[in-house]
Amino acid sequence: MMNPSTMMPSRGSRRNIDEVMCRAAAHAKKEEFFKQGGFEFQSLAGHILESSCKHSKEIQEPNCLKCKYDKELALDELPEMVFARNCLRIHFQSTGFIEFNTLDALKMVISDRLPDVQVGASSAWQSSRKDRIQEIQNHQKPFDWTFTTHYKGTVNGLKVTPTTERIDMERLKRRDAIAFSSSVILFEDELADHGIAQLSARCRVMREGYFFVLLRFYMRVDGVLLRCCDTRIVGDDNSGKVIREWQLREAKYENLRHVDPEALLDVDRAWMHLPIVEEQIDCVSVD
Ligand SMILES: [Zn+2]
């Protein structure tokens, strides 16, 4: 038996999807490149993943992203919006790269049990979710419907070593001139109108001779829980290495009563109010 207080949202919510689709359309099939200091930045953006294949069901098309996702992911459901073509990649000279892609991020979502999100018995959430829970108990394998991923990038041809070196956060607060910037959204789900789960990646290359990349998973179950899982990467020109800091932060709403509610709704501000639960720091470098 499932714990009745561990809820799962329905898929019916489409409230803000139009807005997101507009944003996505603006990014459709965009490809950007920028080079500086031995690093090359590549940002790819394309259409949302189709909800069904455009070819006959009998054949598996090797070039069909829908087939690829179905085959490689064990998840029973995908987020409402999956930007399968979006990717942010940083090449180190020509030896290797680190990238943020949607498929690898979703591979790290728990596909065989429900998330540890306890919802109060009296909440609107629970009453509105009863049918859905029943449906899942009857037909579906449980999975983490918050789509929480601890993904911190896909590394290819580079060396990863633990380090005690930290990112200079003060430098990132400076308003240095930006030579290049780009951002992509990898997936988003409205959690059936009860919050949001979103994964996005952005980069900023400064004329001063360094760059900053942020992969941010932001998850809000309204009135219950806030979670941010950030990966920050900072590199100096011609160093051939970057520091990568991964942090999981979260807090229950009951412990956030002192915080301005507007700040908690803001993807770019909420993280500052959440305590660090887990952290990993490494150095990614040319071998
Ligand atoms: Zn297909």
Altogether, the residues listed in the chain come to a count of 287
For residue 13, pLDDT over 50 is answered with no
Please state the rounded mean pLDDT for residues 38-47.
95
In whole angstroms, give the CA distance from residue 233 to residue 238.
15
User: What is the identity of the amino acid at 64?
Assistant: C
Given this model, what pLDDT does residue 119 score?
54
Q: Model pTM? A: 0.85
Contact 203, 41 (CB under 8 A): yes
Give the bridge partners for 285, in sequence order.
Answer: 159, 241
C-alpha 117 to ligand 1 mean position (Å): 34
C-alpha 188 to ligand 1 mean position (Å): 22
pLDDT in tens, 158-207: 999 999 999 999 999 999 999 999 999 999 998 877 889 999 999 999 99
* Strands in the chain per DSSP E: 30-36, 39-45, 81-82, 87-92, 96-101, 154-156, 159-162, 178-189, 195-206, 210-221, 225-236, 241-252, 276-285
C-alpha 50 to ligand 1 mean position (Å): 9
Backbone angles phi, psi at 205, to 5 degrees: -110, 125
C-alpha 63 to ligand 1 mean position (Å): 8
pLDDT-wise least confident of 2-16, 97-111, 205-219: 2-16
Mean pLDDT in the chain? 86
Helices (H), ranges, 143-256: 169-173
Contact 228, 252 (CB under 8 A): no
In whole angstroms, give the CA distance from residue 72 to residue 107.
8
